[in-house]
């Protein structure tokens, strides 16, 4: 599994902490290659990470901004991305296990300890395998591809 990580200027410190935490736990992380500045814009990071994740089967992504909302909105515009904005471990678990999310967006306002728990949960949670969840995910993918006619 490839794990990508990116942040805007508000998430630099948390990104560093998470990368260290993941490395200490034997999980390699790839930064997306866009440098941070005081005037950077979160959509640039979300779009680039989203493209990388969507083009690599089994890849996951972590996005960090001030509160995770902007990153999740932007990432969800990338075809093939289902991004959960998580503020709890339960959000991360259900985002991946119930909704098939492949990208996690978190806020730098969470604090390091909670962010680590959320990231660990997202990474370790198995993808959806319950039929009703898979059916829903398939509807989303089909809609994204113009193949699903809503009710």
Report the phi/psi class of residue 138: left, alpha or beta, with left for phi > 0 and alpha for psi in -120 to 50.
alpha
Domains of the chain: 3-144 (3.40.1400.10)
pLDDT tens digits, one per residue of 93-125? 999 999 999 999 999 999 999 999 999 999 999
pLDDT at 32 over 80: yes
Rounded to 10 degrees, what is the CA torsion of 134, 140, 144, 145? Answer: 40
Sign of CA dihedral 87, 122, 10, 27: positive
Spot the catalytic one: 7, 9, 83, 98: 98
Q: Could you give the CA distance from residue 92 to residue 95 in angstroms, rounded to a whole number? A: 5
- Token pair 């779009």: residue: 47
Q: Which two tokens stand for residue 77?
A: 């515009």
Q: What is the pTM of this model?
A: 0.95
In the set 7, 9, 21, 65, the catalytic residue is 65
Q: Is the pLDDT of residue 151 over 80?
A: no
Structure confidence by residue, pLDDT tens digits, 45-93: 999 999 999 999 999 999 999 999 999 999 999 999 999 999 999 999 9
Tokens 């991305």 belong to 81
Mean predicted confidence (pLDDT) in 142-149: 88
Residue 98 annotated among the catalytic residues of the structure: yes
């Amino acid at each position: 599994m490839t794990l990508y990580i990116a942040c805007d200027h508000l998430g630099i410190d948390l990104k560093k902490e998470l990368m260290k935490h993941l490395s200490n736990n034997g999980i390699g992380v790839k930064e997306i290659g866009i440098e941070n500045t005081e005037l950077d814009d979160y959509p640039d990071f979300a779009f680039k990470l989203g493209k990388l994740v969507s083009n690599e089967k089994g890849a996951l992504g972590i996005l960090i901004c001030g509160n995770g909302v902007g990153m999740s909105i932007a990432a969800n515009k990338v075809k093939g991305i289902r991004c959960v904005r998580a503020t709890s471990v339960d959000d991360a678990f259900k985002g991946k296990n119930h909704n098939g999310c492949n990208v996690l967006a978190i806020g730098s306002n969470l604090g390091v300890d909670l962010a680590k728990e959320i990231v660990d949960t997202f990474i370790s949670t198995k993808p959806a395998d319950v039929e009703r969840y898979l059916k829903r995910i398939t509807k989303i993918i089909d809609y994204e591809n113009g193949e699903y006619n809503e009710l």
